[in-house]
Amino acid sequence: MLQVNVLRQNPEWVKERLAVKNFNQGELVDEIIALDDQRKNLQAQFDNAQSKINSASKSIGQMMAQGKKEDAEALKKEVSELKPQLDPIKASMAQVEEDLHNKLVLLPNLPNEKVQPGKSEADNEVVKITDNIPVLPEGALPHWDLLTKYDLIDFELGAKITGSGFPVYKGKGAKLQRALSAYFLDFNTDAGYFEFIPPYMVNETSAYSTGQLPDKEGQMYHATADNFYLIPTAEVPVTNIYRDTILKESDFPVKMTAYSHCFRREAGSFGKEVRGLNRVHEFEKVEIIQIVHPDKSYDVLDEMVAHVEKLIQSLGLPYRILRLCGGDLGFTSAITYDFEVYSEAQGRWLEVSSVSNFETFQANRLKCRFKNEDGKIQLVHTLNGSSLALPRILAAILENYQTEDSIKIPEVLQPYFGAKEIK
């Protein structure tokens, strides 16, 4: 959530940055500032009336001690007339603060100056691309056919048990999935990330604090009886570990990693581009999260991008890195780098990771702060990245490592999988 003082300092600049995200409701900025003015005026009225009451009450005690009973009674009457004025002011303040909050949560994060204008993913900037695209055997298959050929995943069984988009991993498919998640976690913990296994359901406050609510409400599975939400990513529960927390500068950087199942409704998704593992409703992902000093967050962003790049390189997959344009940037993000791996069998790029800096946007909702050397309380910066999302990584490995009669296992995975290939 943006801070009101940021809007007040330069409202026209804020509107310009919001327009980069194709957010064209600039009038919201003016409405929020007007509500904040109203809130300040009501607060001044309340403080003034309360001050008069406090001053009069003190004087009443002094008058009574001095035997000036008549003057004290007159002042008591004045206080009794002032006190009823407080309740309507308090009620007005509560309503204005609610209106102010409801409008503030509609504003997305401001994009960093590096973020270029653009309407969609077609306008994203390619910042790096590799040329190690494999030459596949004649008649190479897309992963959904390979999954059937080697009996690794059963989509029909998942549809029977739950519904479309809930695959059942079987035999060596389950083992490869387990090998990938274990390797990713070890890769992250070796780099200093502390491992968690979080709950896969969160309460409304947690979903709000990381920005999923109210923006992504329609994309989240909602357990209505308890008002819990199934997580779309481990970022949500893990970041909330530090909700309502004041850190010390010596605590930085806070580095966390977690494996989890993830649940996304992906309403309206259909067609060839979402076939097989390209898009499912339940999938597994390993996440990295950092909470850092504001002065260090862009250095940390570069570090996290390099970390994910090294992980993809270790799998031997062709990849490219994109800096998202404003129109493709997420609601909470100030800047995002996407990683895509190339599927030669499908002839297309598959997104496998997003690494984002949220600056203070999540921290303001989380109330996650730190005390600096001068004793001043400030908001932290939060960052997160996929390290990695398993479905499309699995799809890319199957497709890019296929031979005429087997699927080779990347060398770094062989100790985890226990074999060099799937026959």
The per-residue pLDDT for range 105-121, each reduced to its tens digit, is: 999 999 999 999 999 99
Q: What is the pLDDT of residue 7?
A: 96
Q: What is the pLDDT of residue 66?
A: 82
Contacts of 275 (CB under 8 A, 6+ apart): 142, 144
**For a pLDDT cut of 70, what percent of the chain falls above it?**
98
287 is in an annotated binding site: yes
SS3 annotation, 278-322: CCCCEEEEEEEEEEECHHHHHHHHHHHHHHHHHHHHHCCCCEEEE
CB contact at 8 A, 353 and 308 = yes
113 is in an annotated binding site: no
Residues forming CATH 3.30.930.10 domain(s) in the chain:
121-422
Q: What is the pLDDT of residue 272?
A: 52
Section 134-143 average pLDDT: 91
Phi, psi of 119 (to 5 degrees): -100, -30
Distance CA 128, CA 123 (A): 15
* Bridge-based pairing state of the strands 319-323 and 125-129: antiparallel
Section 88-107 average pLDDT: 95
283 is in an annotated binding site: yes
Distance CA 167, CA 261 (A): 12
354 is in an annotated binding site: yes
CB contact at 8 A, 264 and 371 = no
282 is in an annotated binding site: yes
pLDDT digits (tens, 9 = 90+) for 172-228: 999 999 999 999 999 999 999 999 999 999 999 999 999 999 888 889 999 999 999
Section 299-305 average pLDDT: 98
222 is in an annotated binding site: no
- pLDDT of 37 higher than 90: yes
Phi, psi of 286 (to 5 degrees): -110, 130
pLDDT digits (tens, 9 = 90+) for 257-297: 999 999 999 754 555 567 899 889 999 999 999 999 999 99
**Nearest by Cα to 225 from 199, 203, 206, 241:** 203
Query: Between 23 and 279, whose confidence is greater?
Result: 23
CB contact at 8 A, 321 and 336 = no
Q: What is the pLDDT of residue 280?
A: 94
pTM of the complete model: 0.92
Provide the 3-class DSSP secondary structure of residue 140: coil
Phi, psi of 330 (to 5 degrees): -65, 160
Q: How confident is the model at residue 73 (pLDDT cuts 50, 70, 90)?
A: confident
Cis (ω within 30 of 0) for the bond into 107?
no
Q: What is the pLDDT of residue 273?
A: 64
245 is in an annotated binding site: no
Section 334-351 average pLDDT: 94
Query: Between 78 and 310, whose confidence is greater?
Result: 310
CB contact at 8 A, 111 and 240 = no
Residues forming CATH 1.10.287.40 domain(s) in the chain:
4-104
Q: What is the mean pLDDT of the chain?
A: 94
352 is in an annotated binding site: yes
* E strand spans, 141-277: 153-154, 168-169, 194-196, 201-203, 222-223, 228-230, 245-248, 254-263
Q: How confident is the model at residue 300 (pLDDT cuts 50, 70, 90)?
A: very high
243 is in an annotated binding site: no
265 is in an annotated binding site: yes
For the stretch 246-250, contacts whose Cβ atoms lie closer than 8 Å and that sit 24 or more positions apart, written own/partner, are 246/369, 246/370, 246/371, 246/377, 247/291, 247/368, 247/369, 247/370, 247/371, 247/380, 248/370, 248/371, 249/293, 249/370, 249/371, 249/372, 249/373
CATH topology of domain 121-422: BirA Bifunctional Protein; domain 2 (3.30.930)
Q: How confident is the model at residue 70 (pLDDT cuts 50, 70, 90)?
A: confident
400 is in an annotated binding site: no
Distance CA 196, CA 171 (A): 26
205 is in an annotated binding site: no
CATH number of 4-104: 3.30.830.10, 1.10.287.40, 1.10.760.10, 1.10.3720.10?
A: 1.10.287.40
135 is in an annotated binding site: no
206 is in an annotated binding site: no
Distance CA 198, CA 275 (A): 29
Residues facing 282 on adjacent strands: 263
Section 357-372 average pLDDT: 97
